[in-house]
Amino acid sequence: MPVTTVENTEAKQRFLILHDYGMGGAWWWVRARSARQVLETFAEIEVVDAADLIQQAEEWDLEEVEVDAPTMPAGLDDLRAKRQAHRHLPGFGALADRTIVYLRRRWDGDDGVDPATYLMEIGSDGRRLRQVKLPENGDALKSDPDDWPFNPPVVDLFDPELKDLEISREEFEAAWHRARRDNRDL
């Protein structure tokens, strides 16, 4: 007789999910046992819990799928494939249950943005809370959500590569206190 776990017997709920890519996003309804199951199944998405957005989405013509369906709508299929590729790598989900994470990421100058290192304070939803930009000229420039016209999630906290980018809170705070406000147009 097969073993039945509590998770397998829980009823599925309907979750509104968003893949926010900065200047827009893709939305779906996903039926799953928990928000955690949704996040463990699809990369780079967030489970939306704002009641007003959920109510608005009821009026949209969104595709609805079962979390464990064999096929997914276009776009969501790629996010599931990406998550499946992550699942067995060291560091998968290592930062997922944290309230705040501190990261150091290098930007090599793509998209016309000068190369720089970014120290970021990230919330549990993958959005920046504060940031210190360290350009190659030696400046240290700090910014926060009041400075950004958009603040989509910038990281997926289940991503196994993030574990190697983690820094301490102390390192971030020291850089934050040394940095000056960037008064240029961000």
| pLDDT single digits (tens) 111-121 | 777 889 999 99
Q: Per the domain annotation, does 72 fall within a domain?
A: yes
Same domain, 77 and 11: yes
Better-scored residue on pLDDT, 108 or 134: 134
* pLDDT tens, residue by residue, 51-64: 999 999 999 999 99
Question: 135 with 172, same domain?
Answer: yes
CA distance 156 to 55: 25
The torsion angles phi and psi of 125, rounded to 5 degrees, stand at: -95, 5
Nearest to 68 by CA among 32, 36, 27: 32
Domain that holds residue 161: 100-181
pLDDT tens digits along 136-158: 888 899 999 988 888 888 999 99
pTM for the full predicted model:
0.83
Structure tokens given for 156? 């997926």
pLDDT for the residue 3? 41
- At 186 the pLDDT is 47
- Do 15 and 32 touch, CB atoms closer than 8 A? yes
Flag whether 95 is in a domain.
no
Task: Give the 3-state secondary structure of residue 5.
Answer: coil
Q: Which residues contact 42 (CB under 8 A, 6 or more apart)?
A: 17, 19, 30, 76, 79, 80, 83
